[in-house]
Amino acid sequence: MTLKRRNFLSLIAAAAGHAACAQSNGTASPKIPVLHGPDDRSGTAHPLGVSVLAYKVVTADTQGALFVAEQMMHAKGGTPLHMHLDQDEWFYVLEGEFLVEIGGVRQVLTAGDSVLGPRQVPHRWLFLGKGSGKILVSFAPAGKMESFFEQVAQTGAMPGEDKALFASHGMVLLGPALTA
């Protein structure tokens, strides 16, 4: 399913309201930082080969409910076919063109488009490589995704064949990345 900008904004507003209600326990709220542009919540950008990941909402900010990152692409590339056992993954394209495959269905997304990759449904995506691209990716609940990206950033490239790494972070690696 593809969401347009208006539906996306409604979804974000509802999610923010839900998170605020869920964390309301009568105590003062912690100060939530405002991030500007390419800022990273952890203070460090995370290189992943043909892209750089900037954490926007870290796992600790939401007590494990959500992890959000902006992936800035500087060359054609994407993820191998995989699925998350316990997380829904939501994609929102900020800039550029991305070929996304979810459950065997392929579609091209451009700025303002979004799509949900439900848990236990195989998916992958590919930045089509025309200029630069940016995609916002969220995981709910956060699971071990932040840890996964930390480990991947240490190598500087997305692992295409490391089934054990995927499995240790609640995912199943199923196949290669898309090619265009």
Kindly report, residue by residue over 32-64, the tens digit of the pLDDT: 667 676 677 877 888 888 899 999 999 998 999
> What sign has the CA pseudo-torsion 136, 118, 58, 8?
positive
- The contacts of residue 35 (CB under 8 Å, 6+ apart) are 41, 56
| Burial status of residue 123 (CB atoms within 10 A of its CB: 0-12, 13-18, 19 or more) | buried
The first and second tokens of residue 105, run together, are: 């269905």
pLDDT grade for 27, boundaries at 50, 70 and 90:
low
C-alpha to C-alpha distance for 147 and 61, rounded to whole angstroms: 15
pLDDT, mean over the chain: 85
Domain count, the chain: 1
Q: Which structural domain, as residue segments, surrounds residue 168?
A: 2-11+39-177
**Dihedral angle at the C-alpha atoms of 71, 113, 11, 139, nearest 10 degrees?**
-30
Residue 108 lies in a domain: yes
Residue 18 lies in a domain: no
The CATH code of the domain that includes 139 is 2.60.120.10
